Chains A and B, each alone.
Chain A
Amino acid sequence: MRRYELLQEIAPIFDREFVICNLGFPSQELYSIRDSERFFYMLGSMGLSSSIGLGLSTQVNDTVVSIDGDGSVLMNLGTLSTIARAAPKNFILLIVDNGSYGSTGDQPTQTANGTSLAAIAKAAGIESSIELPGADAAAALRERLGQPGPHVIVAKVDPGSPKLTPIPLSSLVIRDRFRQAVAEAQKG
């Protein structure tokens, strides 16, 4: 199972959840499977999907899911301690761990050499941190959506991506429709 197949299983689960999606390739994959105004495609700023989700979770009642990557989380490990300290109950960090920098030619990351992001997250203070095979990620996500977080799910998958095209939405459209969806959700 690659990230794409994992996202095929995850994407239908989202209902009222707000989703922050990491980088170009993962965002293209999610967009090609399913689009929603509740999805924020973070096309640059590698490493910040987790932090954006954390900030948003302090402002909304619905659950926020940040879809992140192993290479990206390794670039911003410090934010795991900030998540632990803020402890938002409505935040799930889903790390799709393919052990590689997928957007740049599948060079191995340190998770391919033994680093455990779930263990790091737990040591940072996020008690509900688990590593599991990608095939079990959808069930684990469903289960945690009903339980107070924060939760970290590290889903191990194979490297590789289908060939897709860039998302045909401008950054300002992504921004504005997402903010509008948040505003409407907060009204209701």
Chain B
Amino acid sequence: MPENVNDALLHELKQNGANFFASVPCKLLGGFINALERDEDIGYMPVNREEEGLGILAGAYLGGQVPVLVMQNTGVGTLITSLCSLGNYFRLPITMLISHRGSPGEPIGAQVPMGTAVEHLLATINIPTYRFSDPADCAKVGKLVPFASVAEGPVAAILDFDFWGAR
């Protein structure tokens, strides 16, 4: 088993079938994004904005892949419409890994309003959302990949400061 949370998380996601990733950067995700860049067995595209990431992953899913969107919680704000009219309407099983700025551990006040809103927003548009706070939970996070297929739609993991060991 990999020792650090980034490699362990990627290992679990791949074990559960995930094979195509898109990411928007976040300070908390730096190490995980490095792991995505290093991995030659997966498809990976860094993107400019979360919506285009969702679109690219929708295309990859139509092409038979198992997609994961890696992003910061602030991006949920711009993603709502696409999650509804693409993700939910076409029932696309896309796993979202959302790092959680604006929660305990946060040094920047401007992050807090969106940090507080994110789970309410996802609940409002009926995205199954689960919070993980322990790096030992990587195996549980990995289980979201098959769950997205079972749920036939986008599902989200909120990964906070404690999960990344960043406090």
- A residues sitting closer than 8 Å to B (CB atoms) are 20, 40, 42-45, 47-60, 64, 76, 78-79, 81-82, 85-86, 171-172, 174-175, 178-179, 182-183, 186
Contacts and interface: CB of A to CB of B under 8 A. Distances in A.
B52 A82 contact: yes
Interface string B56-77: 1111111111000000000000
Given A44-B84, A78-B48, A186-B64, A58 B43 contact: yes
Contacts of B89: 43-44, 171
Given A52-B58, A171-B91, A182 B63 contact: yes
Interface of B: 20, 43, 45-49, 51-65, 81-82, 84-86, 89-92
28 contacts: A44-B84, A44-B86, A45-B55, A45-B82, A47-B55, A48-B86, A51-B52, A51-B55, A52-B58, A55-B45, A55-B60, A56-B60, A58-B20, A58-B45, A59-B60, A59-B62, A76-B51, A76-B55, A78-B52, A81-B48, A82-B45, A171-B90, A171-B91, A172-B90, A174-B90, A175-B90, A175-B91, A179-B61
Given A45-B81, A172-B91, A182 B62 contact: yes
A76 B82 CA distance: 12
A47 B62 CA distance: 18
Contacts of B61: 55, 179
Contacts of A56: 59-60, 62-63
Most buried by A among B49, B82, B90: B90
Given A45-B86, A182-B64, A55 B48 contact: no
Contacts of B85: 43-45
A59 B64 contact: yes
Given A48-B86, A82-B45, A183-B64, A55 B59 contact: yes
A187 B45 CA distance: 25
Contacts of A54: 55-56, 59
Contacts of A64: 59
A93 to B, nearest CB: 12
Given A43-B85, A48-B86, A53-B59, A179 B51 contact: no
B63 A59 contact: yes
A55 B49 contact: no
Contacts of B84: 44
A56 B57 CA distance: 8
Contacts of B57: 55
A82 B47 contact: yes
A41 B46 CA distance: 25
B62 A178 contact: yes
A79 B52 contact: yes
Contact of B55 (A50, A58, A172): A50
A164 to B, nearest CB: 20
Contacts of A53: 59
Given A44-B84, A79-B47, A178-B62, 16 more contacts: A44-B85, A44-B86, A44-B89, A45-B51, A51-B53, A51-B59, A54-B55, A55-B56, A55-B63, A56-B59, A57-B59, A59-B62, A78-B48, A79-B52, A172-B91, A182-B63
